[in-house]
A and B are shown apart, each in its own frame.
Chain A
Amino acid sequence: MIKPLLQGLKITLTHLFKKPVTLQYPTERPQIEARFRGLHALKVAHSSAKCVACYLCPTVCPAKCITVEAGEDAQHNKYAEKYEIDMLRCIFCGYCVEACPVDALKMTGEFELANYKRSDFVFTKERLLEK
């Protein structure tokens, strides 16, 4: 009867002298692994988004949270006139990154996505562009 109790106390006591595992967030920042799937970012090359608006990411997205609208630029090339991700629906599966044929999309370590308004969860192209 007393034995299990002591065993429990033993564990408690050992932990008293160990370094705590709790992170003092937000004063302490977690270390984000390279493969972490956080907020998306549109990669930039030659000062414009690499995205060619092929619509493969909205096609593959299981949550249907990506909206793309293609446009034609002055050189008749295809680019994303509108690129939006609804972070409220996103399940961070990373399929969009995998599907991208031109390597224009990545997922960053950014995980602090809280906002005050629902509309602010819809990330437009400007907000998604790689900084």
Chain B
Amino acid sequence: MVNLTIDDKQVTVPKNTTIFDAAKAAGIRIPILCHDKKLNPFGGCRMCLVEVEQMKGRQIPACTTPVTEGMIVRTMTDEIAKARKLVLELLLLKHPVDCPVCDAAGDCDLQNLTYEYQVNSNRFTDEKFHHAIDYDNPLIERDMNRCIHCGKCARICDEIVSFGAYTFISRGIEAKMGTQFDGPLNCEFCGSCVSVCPVGALLARPFKFKARWWAMDKVKSVCSYCGTGCQLTLGVKDNKVLTTIYDENQGFHNGQLCTRGRFAYQFVNSDKRLTTPLMKKNGALVEVTWDEALNAVQQRLASAKTAGDVAGLVTPRLTNEELFVFKKLFKDGLGSENYDHSAGYAHSALSKGAVESIGVAASSAVIADIQKTGLLLVVKSDAYETHPVVGFEINLGVKRKDVDLRIISDKKGKLTKLPGAKTYLNIPGTETLLVNALAKTLVDENLVDAAAASITGFEEWKKSLDGAAPEQVAGICGLTADEIKTLARDYVKAEKALLLLPLGLGYPGHTKELAQALFNLSFAAGKHGKEGCGVLLLAEKNNSQGAVDLGLYPVAGGKDAAAIIDGCAAGSIKTLYVAGENLVVSYPNRKKVEAALDKVDFLIVQDLFLSETAALADVVLPACSFAEKEGTFTSAGKAVQKVNRAIKPVGQAKSDFEIFNTLYVNLSGKPAVADPKAAFAEITASVPAYAGLTYETLGDAGVVVVPAMTPKFAVAPGAAPTAEVGKMALVTGSALYHCGTMSLYGEGPMHVCPAGYVEIGREDAKRLTVQDDDLVTVTSAAGAVKLKVKVGSRMPEGVVFAPYHFADQSVNSIASGESVTWVTISK
């Protein structure tokens, strides 16, 4: 610890703290333009100059200078004020000062400091720049005339996003922030650069000219896309969500967002939103009143209750409170346990795998462990695509904390490009075999942790690994035995090691067994229950973790998702209540799903949009988006976070909470759950991990719950998919810009990634003589689909990838829920 004096205040801070941070800790504000707490210091703007008694003569930049013992710092003297004023005058020399038409006005650091230092007139004058403004992409507008050369965009893109889209080009006064070859921006469009730009040089085009910063209400909420659980601030005006506002103090991610989080909020106020209930009359959906629709639903459910032929599929995008009432509606109102979510398999790693392995449907690690670990083994490079902000954490871990990154994957990806990252490219579908081979190495080489032997099921598990030796499976997995052994040794030798596995509808291969194999590996290596250790299962949707916490899947006797679809097809399910799921597009085997839904007597769909599933419904109930309701989401990192109501419901839409509640009261005759708060109180009473939580204790930051775990070895056999000769292995998954099917209604993702595609390696593309944007037919046993080709260096030979989000080119019309789909590709 270092003691120093700042403005006559005694401050004690850790070594290597900068003067700026020390002052901040003491509550003293030093103005900055080029510094951001997430980034390495740059020291370019010279606004943070302070005086240090021991270094008289020069003014010292506070953001770069580390504190030393006994330092006496003055943050504001006449000299400093003069120097800062000069800096502002010089910056305003070239700045166009077009505040009236600049969207940053009101939230502009340069503007605020100009006011603060009363730069009412400029002693200097100069000509302004006339750089051409970049309108080439639909998301980020770059007006380099306004740039003040803080370099934050370049640093955030390099240090955190690890893309490196920007750099300074030219020198001196001609220097400007440029892209590669000064061409148009071609990047991930996460908008991190926009968020840190202190002026209006980088602007979000979807929000351009929409509102002034001061006229918007800022509502804190949680992103409703993936399971990362990023906190957001919504900018709201006239009952419309107009933008997301950057707040560097929000969440573990310090306000950092991805394309979806930052640019895909438009679905909330989309024109395509359902505003009135619809009912099928004479074969067409027509608008009806809520009373009529609810009456019809209620009558049908009442009769289905007696017949016992009702089932429900619910989306894990709903709040915990809504899922809770949905479950109540089914259990108490309809006396049925036929409900499930995420096609069943997307949550089985948690709801079955983790439950059997650690006794609770959750990961044994949290997101904060990523930066605390020593070795991070990611199963599938897709972890970056499914959870981009977790990807940023990995980037930071690798670059700043020297995390040793290893990736087992069927394709390369962004993570494999990180410095020092080692990728083990395996044959698709052999992940479980491979993980078991890692465990077998530990057993064979006597590297198993001493405590592991006392864990239940150890002997049985050990026996089950016979035949899983690296030598035996190496060929099947497409790796060498040495590679497997080295990886196993490195994993066990690392002081802390973390395993990471993304889950989701696009990953049918990420099953219960794979999760259990990972858990077993962590137990065997003694990498369980410690900081920076364990298995982190990244559930796909914003509240997937909450849905399994609340048990939104059949436990005893009820039908699971697959059985429900089969039941519909067989006629044993006559009434199906679908809340938010778009199973026609996202569940495996589209033909089968469509046939099943056709058979259902009465299909109730409750959704934001007239989705492909809703179009088949008998009654469509318009529901509310996350911005219109109050409740909680539980992230993949087990953070329970509060969602706040930002706008009134769109049209006549009602919140899922209200709809379920009405039906529940009428069908069960029991009193309603008063409000989300009351529902949450009931949840905390029934879910052990949530015990003691209230909306008040959650606050703005949320609470990471740590459930009690009891490790148990579970036998997790792996099997290699049988390759079909002459066919290519199609693996499905998530595209970086999309999450589920909801992001198709957001502007940002649709600008960057508007349609489905099939990604083919260069060698295969050459063999098939296809090029980028060629239309090819991908045929499997289940069917065929036409997709555009994307040629890249990511895919190994014989493996192709297609994202699952798109309705028009839906991959589920060829994939039927196997980890690998064997396809042929023809022009």
* Residues of A in contact with B, size category: 10 to 19
| B215 and A52 contact, CB distance less than 8 A | no
**B-side contacts of A72, CB under 8 Å:** 208-209
B100 at the interface (CB under 8 A from A): yes
A55-B215, A72-B208 as given contacts; A78 in contact with B133, CB under 8 Å: no
Which of these, B141, B210, B215, contacts A59 with CB under 8 Å? Answer: B215
Q: How far is the CB of B492 from chain A (nearest CB, A)?
A: 58
Q: Which residue of A lies closest to B212 (CB)?
A: A55
| A78 and B101 contact, CB distance less than 8 A | yes
Which of these, A59, A76, A101, contacts B212 with CB under 8 Å? Answer: A59
Q: How far is the CB of A68 from chain B (nearest CB, A)?
A: 9
| B100 and A56 contact, CB distance less than 8 A | yes
| A78 and B215 contact, CB distance less than 8 A | no
Distance of A71 Cα from B101 Cα, bound (Å): 11
| A53 and B209 contact, CB distance less than 8 A | yes
Q: How far is the CB of A52 from chain B (nearest CB, A)?
A: 5
**B-side contacts of A52, CB under 8 Å:** 100-101
Distance of A76 Cα from B138 Cα, bound (Å): 12
**B-side contacts of A101, CB under 8 Å:** 99-100
- Report 8 cross-chain contacts, Cβ distance below 8 Å, ordered by A residue: A52-B101, A53-B101, A54-B99, A55-B211, A58-B215, A72-B208, A76-B141, A78-B209
A65 at the interface (CB under 8 A from B): no
Q: Which residue of B lies closest to A56 (CB)?
A: B100
A27 at the interface (CB under 8 A from B): no
B135 at the interface (CB under 8 A from A): yes
| B100 and A71 contact, CB distance less than 8 A | no
Q: Which residue of A lies closest to B210 (CB)?
A: A70
| 4 shortest interchain CB distances as A-B pairs | A54-B100, A70-B209, A78-B101, A55-B212
Distance of A102 Cα from B100 Cα, bound (Å): 8
**A-side contacts of B100, CB under 8 Å:** 52, 54, 56, 78, 101-102
B214 at the interface (CB under 8 A from A): yes
Q: Which residue of A lies closest to B211 (CB)?
A: A55
Distance of A74 Cα from B212 Cα, bound (Å): 21
A119 at the interface (CB under 8 A from B): no
A77 at the interface (CB under 8 A from B): yes
A68-89: which residues lie under 8 A (CB-CB) from chain B? 70-72, 76-78
| A59 and B214 contact, CB distance less than 8 A | yes
Q: Which residue of A lies closest to B135 (CB)?
A: A76
Q: How far is the CB of A66 from chain B (nearest CB, A)?
A: 12
| A54 and B208 contact, CB distance less than 8 A | no
Which of these, B101, B133, B135, B210, contacts A54 with CB under 8 Å? Answer: B101
**B-side contacts of A70, CB under 8 Å:** 209-210
| A71 and B212 contact, CB distance less than 8 A | no
**B-side contacts of A56, CB under 8 Å:** 100
Which of these, B101, B105, B141, B210, contacts A77 with CB under 8 Å? Answer: B101
CB 8 Å contact bits of A38-58 with B (1 = contact, 0 = none):
000000000000001111101
Distance of A101 Cα from B100 Cα, bound (Å): 7
**A-side contacts of B208, CB under 8 Å:** 72
Given contacts A52-B100, A58-B215, A59-B215, 15 further A-B contacts (CB under 8 A): A53-B209, A54-B99, A54-B101, A54-B212, A55-B211, A55-B215, A70-B210, A71-B209, A76-B133, A76-B135, A76-B141, A78-B100, A78-B101, A78-B209, A101-B99
Q: How far is the CB of A105 from chain B (nearest CB, A)?
A: 13
**A-side contacts of B211, CB under 8 Å:** 55
Distance of A101 Cα from B141 Cα, bound (Å): 24
Distance of A86 Cα from B135 Cα, bound (Å): 36
A14-69: which residues lie under 8 A (CB-CB) from chain B? 52-56, 58-59
Q: How far is the CB of A112 from chain B (nearest CB, A)?
A: 32
Q: How far is the CB of B254 from chain A (nearest CB, A)?
A: 30
Q: How far is the CB of B17 from chain A (nearest CB, A)?
A: 40
Interface centre among B133, B212, B214 (most CB of A within 10 A): B212
Distance of A54 Cα from B211 Cα, bound (Å): 9
**A-side contacts of B141, CB under 8 Å:** 76
Q: Which residue of A lies closest to B141 (CB)?
A: A76
Q: How far is the CB of A69 from chain B (nearest CB, A)?
A: 9
Q: Which residue of A lies closest to B214 (CB)?
A: A59
Distance of A77 Cα from B102 Cα, bound (Å): 10
CB 8 Å contact bits of B192-231 with A (1 = contact, 0 = none):
0000000000000000111110110000000000000000
Distance of A71 Cα from B133 Cα, bound (Å): 18
**A-side contacts of B101, CB under 8 Å:** 52-54, 77-78
Q: How far is the CB of A121 from chain B (nearest CB, A)?
A: 21
Q: How far is the CB of B100 from chain A (nearest CB, A)?
A: 3
B290-310: which residues lie under 8 A (CB-CB) from chain A? none
Q: How far is the CB of A96 from chain B (nearest CB, A)?
A: 14
Q: How far is the CB of B215 from chain A (nearest CB, A)?
A: 7
Q: How far is the CB of B208 from chain A (nearest CB, A)?
A: 6
Q: How far is the CB of A98 from chain B (nearest CB, A)?
A: 14
Q: How far is the CB of A81 from chain B (nearest CB, A)?
A: 9
Q: How far is the CB of B172 from chain A (nearest CB, A)?
A: 29
Distance of A25 Cα from B207 Cα, bound (Å): 51
Interface centre among A52, A70, A101 (most CB of B within 10 A): A70
Q: How far is the CB of A75 from chain B (nearest CB, A)?
A: 10
Q: Which residue of A lies closest to B100 (CB)?
A: A54
Interface centre among A58, A59, A76 (most CB of B within 10 A): A76
**B-side contacts of A78, CB under 8 Å:** 100-101, 209
CB 8 Å contact bits of B97-108 with A (1 = contact, 0 = none):
001110001000
**A-side contacts of B133, CB under 8 Å:** 76
Distance of A76 Cα from B132 Cα, bound (Å): 12
**A-side contacts of B135, CB under 8 Å:** 76
Interface centre among B99, B209, B210 (most CB of A within 10 A): B209
**A-side contacts of B210, CB under 8 Å:** 70
Q: How far is the CB of A67 from chain B (nearest CB, A)?
A: 10
Interface centre among B100, B141, B208, B212 (most CB of A within 10 A): B100
Distance of A91 Cα from B304 Cα, bound (Å): 63
**A-side contacts of B105, CB under 8 Å:** 54
B40-54: which residues lie under 8 A (CB-CB) from chain A? none
CB 8 Å contact bits of A87-120 with B (1 = contact, 0 = none):
0000000000000011000000000000000000
Distance of A7 Cα from B100 Cα, bound (Å): 63
Distance of A58 Cα from B100 Cα, bound (Å): 13
**A-side contacts of B215, CB under 8 Å:** 55, 58-59
Q: How far is the CB of A26 from chain B (nearest CB, A)?
A: 40
Q: How far is the CB of A29 from chain B (nearest CB, A)?
A: 37
**B-side contacts of A102, CB under 8 Å:** 100
**B-side contacts of A53, CB under 8 Å:** 101, 209
B72-106: which residues lie under 8 A (CB-CB) from chain A? 99-101, 105
Q: How far is the CB of B240 from chain A (nearest CB, A)?
A: 12
Distance of A71 Cα from B212 Cα, bound (Å): 13
CB 8 Å contact bits of B352-363 with A (1 = contact, 0 = none):
000000000000
**A-side contacts of B214, CB under 8 Å:** 59
Distance of A55 Cα from B213 Cα, bound (Å): 10
Distance of A72 Cα from B135 Cα, bound (Å): 12
CB 8 Å contact bits of B108-136 with A (1 = contact, 0 = none):
00000000000000000000000001010
